[in-house]
Amino acid sequence: MKRPAPVAIEHEAIPWLLAAALGTVAPHMAHLPGWLTFLVGVILVWRGWLWQRRRSLPRRGWLVLLVVGSLAAITWQFRTLFGKDAGVALLVVFMALKLLEMASRRDAVVVVILGYFLLLTHYFYSQSVVTGLWLLTMVTCLTATLLRLYGGGQPPLSLVRQAGWMLAQAMPLMLILYLLFPRVTGPLWGLPQDAYTGVSGLADHLAPGSISRLIQSGAIAFRSHFADDRPQQADLYWRGPVFDSFDGQTWRAHARPSTVTDQPPQIESYGKTYAYSTLLEAHNQRWLLALDLPTVLPVASRLMPTLEVLATDPVRLRNRFSFVSTTNFRVNRVETPAILDESLVLPPTVNPRTRALAAEWRSRSPGKIVEAALALFRQENFRYTLQPPLLGGDGIDQFLFDTRQGFCEHYASAFVFLMRAAGVPSRVVAGYQGGEINPVDGYLTVRQSDAHAWAEVWIEGQGWLRIDPTAAVAPSRVEQGIVAALPAAEPLPVLVRIDTDWLRDWRNRWEAANSTWNLWVLGYNPQRQREVLSRLGWPDADWRAMSGALAVLCVVVLGVVAWLTRPATQRPDPAQRAWRRFCNELQRRGVRRSEWEGPLAFAERVAGEQPALATVTREAAGYYATLRYGRQVDDELRRLQQCRQRLPPRRRCEL
C-alpha cells in the first residue's frame, strides 16, 4: 500500500513554530556556552530569513555537517555527551537544527514536542515563581501552535484563547493529581550526576577567601520561622560544618577516628529554648543549618560529636526542617580524649612567629590565653575587609604581624592556630550569623552574604565555648549585620545594600511570595502531603488509599469536563420536523433517505424506485427546499405537513 504524501506546513504557520522554539530555548542562554548561544541565534535568524524570502531549506549534507560539528563541539566543551549541562545543550541544538529541515506537518509536531520536553529542563537551573509563570506561558504558546497547525488560519488571539481554555479544562485534574498523587522522597527517575552542580552555599573546606567570595552573593541560604519570640541579633549563630584539620592553608573536617564512641553530646541548657522551622535551600551537602545549639532535631538527622547536625542524605532539594535550640548552654564538660587530641594538631614548621607568640602564653590559664588573643585583635590595628592582600606560605604570620586585614575566615583561622599553639583545644566553625526579618510573612531571611566563621575552644569544667574573634575587630558585624561592618566601597550585593523603603518592601513581598511557592508547590513532600490530608479529615491516608481516591476523582472530573464540553445540539425547526416525519413515512414504505442526500435528489430517486410516490415526494421536497433555503412562508409549511397525509397506504405502494 502506497504511503500518503506528507502534509506540507502552511507558510503562515512557520512564525508560530519559530516563536515557540525561541521561547523554550531563550532562558537557557544564561548558562549555555557563548558559542552555542551564537550558533542557535544564527540558525533562528537564518530560518526566519528563509521563510520570509520563501527560499528552500538547506540540503541534507549541510545539516549532517552541522550535526557532527555541534556534537563534537559539545563533547569538547563538556568532556561528555551525558549529564545535565551537556544534555540540555544537545536538546537546544536539536531544536535549532530541526527548524532547518522542517518541511512537513510531522516535522512541525516534532518541534512542538521537543519544546514541551525542553521546558522541563529549565527546572534544573531555576524553580522560582518567574520560571513557573514563564513555563505556563510557553505551554500555552506551544498548544496554540498545535492548534494553528491543524486548525488553519485563525486570529492569533483566538488561538491563544483556545489554548488557554484547553489548559483551564485540565486545571481540576492537575489539582487532584497535585493533592493526591503519592509523593516519594526523591525523583521518579534517575538524574544525571551533575544535576546538583552550581548550587550555592558553604564549602566542605575553609581557606582565606572562601567565605568572602560567598558573601558577595545575595542569594537566600535559608528562611526560618520562630513559633514564639526569636533570639537577639547577637545570638543568631547558625551552625554549619566544623573544621578541625589544618594543613597550613586550608581547614577541613577530620575523618572521625574509630576510638570515638557514638555517645551523644552532653548538652546543659540554661534559660529559654526556641522552636522554629527552617526552609533550607539545596546545597548538596549533608549538614543542616541550626541555631547554635540544637536540642531537638528533625527526623533523619543526627547531632555529631563535633556538634554539627548531619542529615542522612545530602540536601539536594529545597526542604523544611524543624528544630528546637538553646542559645545559653554548656556542652561536653567532659570530652573524648581523641577529639581533644585532634583539636591540638598543627602542621609542623609553618607560621613560626605565631608559634613564638603563643609559646609566651602557655604558662597562663586557658581563659587568660583566650583573653590575650582577643586583646591582640582589639588593640592592634586590624581591619575588617572583603579585599585583603594575598598571603603566602606562612599566611597566618603575615596576617597577624604584617597585613592585619582580613575577613572572618582570617580571624577564626588565626585565632584557632594561636589557641592550638598555646595548648588550648580549639576548632573552626562555619555557618551564618544574623538574618533579617521579613515583615510580610514574619520569616527570618538568612542570605549567603551572612556567611560567617568563628572559633570554639574547650576549657576544662566549662566544655566547648563559642569565641568570635571577628566581633573583637568589628563588633557591628554581629550586632547589626554585614552592611554595618563594611564601608560602602566593599563589593556587597545590591539586594543586601538596599536602603530605599519601597525597594525593600518590593523585595520583601517578592521573597515572601517565593517562599510560599517553595513551601506549597516545590516543597510538597510526603510530610507536607500528610499534613494537608490530615487537615482535610484524612489523617491515616496511605499510598493505596490515595491511589484509589485519585483514580475515582480523575474519572469523575474527566466525565464532568466531557459533559460540559459536549457539542451543543440544536433543536430542529418546524420545517425540519415536518420533513423528517415525511421521510420516516417513506421509510415505512420501503424508501430510506441517506443523511447526505439533499431533498431534490432524494425526490428523484424516489420517483425512480416508487413511481406511485413520485408526485407527492417532489411536492414535499420542493416545499422543504423553499422553507429551508429560501423564504419562510407559513402556507408552504402547512402544505409540507399535509404531504405526509397524502401518501398512499403501504399496501398500494407495494402493489
Active site residues: 408, 452, 468
**Helix, strand, coil content of the chain in percent (nearest 5):** 50, 15, 35
Unique residue bearing C-alpha cell 522560582: 128
List the alpha helices (DSSP H) in 7-128. 14-25, 34-53, 60-78, 84-100, 105-120
**Whole-angstrom distance, CA of residue 26 vs CA of residue 40:** 10
The 3-state DSSP class for residue 268 equals strand
Residue 640 CA, chain-centre distance (Å), reads 69
Residue type, position 262, single letter: D
Say if residue 39 is preceded by a cis peptide, omega within 30 of 0.
no
Kindly report whether the peptide bond that precedes residue 293 is cis, defined as omega within 30 degrees of 0: yes
Contacts of 27 (CB under 8 A, 6+ apart): 122, 125, 126, 131, 134
Strand partners, 288: 309
List the one residue out of 505, 520, 499, 501 whose CA is nearest residue 439. Answer: 505
How many Å apart are CA 115 and CA 142, to the nearest integer? 7
State phi, psi for 122 to the nearest 5 degrees.
-65, -25
H or E element that contains 320: strand 319-326
**104 strand-pairing partners:** 8
Tell me the C-alpha distance between 102 and 9, whole Å.
Answer: 8
β-bridge partners, 237:
433
435 with 445: CB under 8 angstroms? yes
**Pairwise CA distance, residues 418 & 423, whole Å:** 9
Angle between helices 366-379 and 352-361 (to 10 degrees): 130
Numbers of helices and strands, H then E, in the chain: 24, 21
